[in-house]
Amino acid sequence: MGADKAELLSEHQRFVVPSLEELAENGRRIGLPANEVEKFQSHYESNGWRVGKNKMKNWRAAMSGWKTRVDEYAKRTNNTGSNGHINSRNSKMGDGQRANSERSAAESKAIDDAYAVNGRIPMS
């Protein structure tokens, strides 16, 4: 019974913020890309290591859940590059949206100027 009590106490120890090295090691162990480990760390560092309004209890479990969501997102969007990184912006855009996002500042200004003069959006 002594071992059970020690095990129970270790489960309820005070949360200690993990180092980036600990996060990276766990990320490698579970197959989470390094850029996602950094996103995980930044996200939880910015909100005080909280899950909703509650203090985090187990960062390894939280990272495992993060990986599950990354994998589900990648499957849903079929949207990973050869390096395993999620490429979200351009792949979700239609051709017209992509063209708009690639316009130069001069082209954008000319369109804005034409709109201001004519009161309508020019069609190209």
- pTM beyond 0.75: the answer is no
pLDDT of residue 82: 44
Q: Greater confidence, 85 or 43?
A: 43
pLDDT of residue 26: 97
Give pLDDT tens digits for 80-96. 544 555 555 555 555 55
Residue 37 has pLDDT above 90, yes or no: yes
37 CB-side CA count, 13 A: 18
Residue 33 has pLDDT above 70, yes or no: yes
Distance of CA 117 to the CA centre of its chain: 42
Q: Please give the Cα distance from 15 to 56 (Å, whole number).
A: 7
Span of 11-15, 48-52, 54-58, 111-115 with lowest mean pLDDT = 111-115
Nearest to 67 by CA among 17, 26, 18, 21: 26
